[in-house]
A and B are shown apart, each in its own frame.
Chain A
Amino acid sequence: MKCFTGVNLKTFFLVSALGIAAASSGGARDVTLLNVSYDPTRELYLEFNAAFAKHWKEKTGDTVTVKQSHGGSSKQARSVIDGLRADVVTLALAYDIDAIAERSKALPPDWQQRLPGNSSPYVSTLGFLVRKGNPKDIKDWDDLVKPGISVVTPNPKTSGVARWNYLAAWGYALKANQNDQKKAQEYVAKLYKNVPVLDSGARGATTTFIERGIGDVLINWENELLLVTRKTNPGQFEIVMPTVSILAEPAVAVIDRNVNRKGTADVARAYLEYLYSETGQEIAAKHFYRPTLESVAAKHTDTFPRLELFTVAEMFGGWQQAHRDHFTEGGSFDRIYKP
């Protein structure tokens, strides 16, 4: 039995090696890129890939096919570290790409400086979803802690977006109270008293609010809220953007080692740069990500109202610090939330 498996394994290697060779050998005419991305960007890149392929064909005559891989952002980063041959990564956090740079050395540590805007071609923020006609008259963060208001947000211990929600609320309270941590904690504690049930994930929270009709307000990503009001459930809900919110900066990077091996460095870089082009920015806006190119952003101010945005870095000293302060065992969330 051993001998047979051995032979076949060898064939596997050969087959796979050949497959890769075939994919890369057509470098002059046919190029395949792998974009390792995170979950909510599927539609965005589906459209962008087609646009880029067209652009690239016109510019160079080459045919470029972009393959996509989607999953949880940090899991995707892990896969790249373990050897998933991404030409480019487009992940939720710069932190995840830092992890790739640090652990696999597949790209330099200063990768973030290689593209404009700290390598974030589009950004997003958090907003509120309320029921049609805004019956509880919710306008800003202060309204969420009023008695009788029911807020839907998932559990920060288990959900990524819930941590963003938590920090956004905390950051708002800091700004409103001249950086008084104690007052901020009081505010967040009051807010979570208004949360009837903590779903374990973003999806569950959305279902709770939309399908089960529980709660007066749902906190979620702006792009997700726009998807609900404009695509999946038009006319049933309204978006309320607070005056202050948190800025999420999804980051993109070329994975140098992989593109060097495959000889796709040029097209990979062009691919990411094209995200900053007017076309790229329009596609981002169309999929409800905030464009960073001023000319495009100006055109979409009714979709993306201007508001004051702060980053995790400037308000909490980075994700690792924020995590230690708020979400570890005995962190602020444990202190304020007693189920």
Chain B
Amino acid sequence: MSIELRNITKQFGAVAAVNNVSFSVKEGELMALLGPSGGGKTTVLRMIAGLEEPTSGDIFIQGQRVNDLSVQQRNIGFVFQNYALFKNMNVFKNIAFGLKIKKWKRRDIKARVAELVKLLGLEGLEKRYAHQLSGGQRQRVAIARALAPKPSVLLLDEPFGAVDAKIRQELREWLVTLHHELSVTTIFVTHDQEEAMEVSNRIVIFSKGDLEQLGTPREVYEQPANEFVARFVGVMNVLEAEVKDGVARVGELQFAAGDQPDGARLRIGFRPYAVQVSPDVNLYPYRAVLIRTYFLGIMLRLEFELGSGLVLRSRMTKEEYAQLGLEDGKAVSLQIRNYRVLAAEESALPPERQSAYQPPPSIAENI
């Protein structure tokens, strides 16, 4: 079902956890709320569920304003970050809990639980208790429990946050499949941009309670609304350039400055894949030396140092790497295929960090 938030603000004391946020989720959509911890995304999720009350603004579920409906009346399924399975009940009873409350017939409950157990691959675990299950199993029980009463909306708070990396990948694929099968409107919260990109139809990006951007994974990746989004979604080289004679310059790099006046400072961003490399040192405008190579499965991350000392990041497949005959210390030439002006007249970063942005190594590199 469709969900709409209109001008939602949530204050905790003097702090605004969510600041005048509006967006809507389409029927059957799988939406990710992405952002760093403390960005307000979980609070948004809890307000949709009715576990928190917005300080101001309205929430609609399929056109109906639900602000005054209690949690129980909203017919949502909620999967908690740590699953919150009922410790004192086994898997069967956990899944059946919501059905019992809805006063389903015993036979129907049995059938529905069996159906979910099968759907979620929990066969044979019905008699187990939470502490006898693995992280992934627990998570699936939590989802089965949330789905059992056929909620109109499924809300998941960091659904893969608490399982280890290997299972996480499986669970992601599985969530996509599940969503495909059930096509229930789903919103999940994550701080992992890769997860958001891979799983969701659309992403809402939050930072410090503000909605930064809403778009498809491709949109937020390729057209980040601002530097925060650009940096949060994927890796980006970010440089601060100064405009002189209609050209923005940093080191030997030059970018078209459009109609920016001389002396303006521009923040220029480009993705690693935008950096093109040739072993022919004369092919592209900038000379550089390959100083480091990181192997990340089939993809490689490369760091090039320009004559001016600037370090740029690039990435390519193993095959490309082999074709180009690259190795550490090799001299190459570079060009930058496309870039974005992220901000003008801004110097958010201290000067010494103005070389290529270096986020901590993360799986984000896989993109």
A–B direct contact (CB < 8 Å): no
- Which positions in B face A, CB cutoff 8 Å? none
| Chain A interface (Cβ < 8 Å from any Cβ of B) | none
